[in-house]
Amino acid sequence: MSIKIQVQKLYPDVNLPELKTNGAAGYDLFSYCKNGIILLPMEPNLIPTGLKLAIPFGYDIEIRPRSGLANKHLIFIPNSPGTIDSDYRGELFVGVVNLGKLPFQIEHKMRIAQLLIRKTYYAEFECVEELDSTQRSSGGFGSTGLF
């Protein structure tokens, strides 16, 4: 299934999101920072993409880390996955944090994150006096053990 998403390039040479393989779920997002950005350890940053999107109502976008940046360089998205709502029309920025010990350079037009398009489901919340019982019940974090 395919949907249309309107894109506004804020600069003529901005890279559009792109799929690198036929079976990829996530579109690569590119930085747009002509002078680059140095990510110091443990300091959050917003990386510009130079794009604005018009996401259709009923859909949202998730921004997720790229596995290579996360596993090789400890560059993460702190609120992963980041959510872009259908009514947002500002420039798309990617929040990142360097969890490594050394500074890391974000280069201009570097692949910095993945963009996934998701269907949004809306719910009606119904107040009840009691919930049905389950085997787990109110067992919380770690209540089912490690193995």
Which of 105, 126, 22, 25 is CA-nearest to residue 67?
Answer: 25
Question: At 45, is the pLDDT very low, low, confident or very high (cuts 50, 70, 90)?
Answer: very high
Distance of alpha carbon 107 from alpha carbon 115, whole angstroms: 19
Distance of alpha carbon 92 from alpha carbon 37, whole angstroms: 16
Distance of alpha carbon 99 from alpha carbon 19, whole angstroms: 27
The pair phi, psi for residue 138, each rounded to 5°, is -100, 15
Taking residues 56-84, what's their average pLDDT?
95
Taking residues 83-95, what's their average pLDDT?
97
> pTM (2 decimals)?
0.86
Taking residues 46-73, what's their average pLDDT?
96
Taking residues 14-38, what's their average pLDDT?
96
What single letter denotes the amino acid at residue 89?
R
Fold of 6-119: Deoxyuridine 5'-Triphosphate Nucleotidohydrolase; Chain A (2.70.40)
